[in-house]
Structure 1
């Protein structure tokens, strides 16, 4: 049975707009920064020492201009870091697969990269005069991509902070983006409902899909990279076969905008959340919805089911609350 496992009131001072769930993996001892490298200049307090043990972290980005790092342990959320520096609201966050770096994008037109272990700022990337929106890491953790109002997807190197690649959707505001787990594809969803799928190696646009007439809030590839889910303000979820761009399913059930979709690692299920204040669990093969979780405390976005804990998280966009749901095996 799916049930509310944990709720965090007043997690931020304003609406939580984005979240990410990842496994922090400390670097080997010989790669940890020295005391000299972590020491601050002048009279400022020294930088915090990096955490030495792995931990499950939830990252939240808020319109209060901050990013917060929470540790999920034994059914509780504990605040580990408050990341400050953005001048305007944080609209998207992500955690790299290697578990060491977090990214945040803001209405201040910057992307910031953070050390998950210490909470320290690694890099600030100026995304230009037109603000960036969604941000996501490549599967190998070496690149971070962002979509913008100009309809372009720009990819930056995590180490260099420099632009490495650019994809032109030739359309409107790239509202959502997603990498395929195999690292071959990059998908974007636009404010006018158009979806584009690019071949990362060649930079070529493979498919343009016109399955929605309203903004695409979220995209998600299946673990085997063969399927793509799209979530839209039209209240529908659509599933596409990536290879041939064929529609594999159209799902309805939410009564308002669908804000987020994510596949579970078992490929058998995926989850969605909506502005109708519900979270739904779907079967990939049958397209049935075996679980409907009402009362999600306002519009929210859902994190993938975590196989280690059988959990999913939903932070509200109307109240500063983070919730974690327990999921059956």
Structure 2
């Protein structure tokens, strides 16, 4: 049983973070934020996949002003990602951002930070202090060296320094992230930070890579931390479609029995007995279940010999044969279907089961 670390609770829009709230799943758009139509379309797709908080880049005033129209068209809280320019942070909040991600030390000095914090107080907006290995102040790098697994001190001290800047302004509606592209540095950095603060922590491995490398690195680092009870919200950062970030995040949470959303897909790795295009079948089933919410166990197996037996615990499954396939439920055969109709019939049965269980 995982015992969660005790933290303060903050609210990003309607989503609670910390204080025992469910670990929330975030992602970030890769559209031009000023292109409201494209940005909203992508956020709607992410909402369907289970994204609970969305972050958008705000590189200029046009993007900041677009937030109002984007907010009006979506159902999940929106965070503005700001670098260096305090005016963009203020403008984003004035136009409806429900959270901002900044590095307080990079906003141009105490006066500009004070104006940013004043706007956050006025609009009830929490601030994420986001520090990456590449954004650490030079004096801290000189004193502690570049963050490593054995010595992540510069990363932690940078975050604490920036948190203190906010605290000096009388602001405590804070969450913190300290991201590295190195798995062990990320793990040890968050472990040490968690012992020093009670603010909620946003987890992530920055610049993690593409689908395979990024999934592995993120799952190892975040999986270990989550199992230790560290982390209140997370983003899986992949050089891929943001939808895949959300899918990986829920798979990770499910694997640790922290949260379940939608069906779990189990499938065999194939062998010489496989006589159908199992890869294509599994891909299509995986796509179909992404927007489903009922926590079913769905199996896609390569042969009728072992399929129902090996996947006996699956709520519903499909297994291929030579020119034919079977559909089974809890290990029991319910239908035999020609191969060319197998996917269509199986998805119909799956949706029927989902509809029945939702009633």
Both proteins in one fold, TM over 0.5: no
TM-score, structure 2 as length reference? 0.27
Structure ID, larger Rg: 2
| Structure (1 or 2) with the greater strand fraction | 1
| Larger relative helix fraction | 2
TM-score by length of 1: 0.29
